[in-house]
Amino acid sequence: MERQSRLGGLVLLMNVGMVAFWTLVVLAMRALMPGVRDDGAERNRRPEPEDALSVLDGRLARGQLDAQDYRARRELLTHGP
């Protein structure tokens, strides 16, 4: 009878140890990967939209606008019509 109670205690201790081990594994993985979130917010986040002046600057840099057109459009954006 005493042997069975010891065996039951050992089984309980092994179960507690197993839960503690896997908890530590999960916590260590989360600490090593701080950018990963449980709710998937990182994957589903849309990129921030560019403001109009940044788009205009990019178009000038790519050569899609000449300097005169750039200045006219920038004036409209900053001061209005």
Domain ranges of the chain: 1-34, 50-81
Residue 23 pLDDT class (50, 70, 90 cuts)? very high
Tens of pLDDT, residue by residue over 27-74, are: 998 888 876 665 555 556 676 778 999 999 999 999 999 999 999 999
pLDDT of 43: 59
**CA atoms of 71 and 53, how far apart (whole Å):** 11
Overall residue count recorded for the chain in this entry: 81
**CA atoms of 68 and 60, how far apart (whole Å):** 10
**pLDDT top residue among 29 and 5:** 29
pTM of the model: 0.42
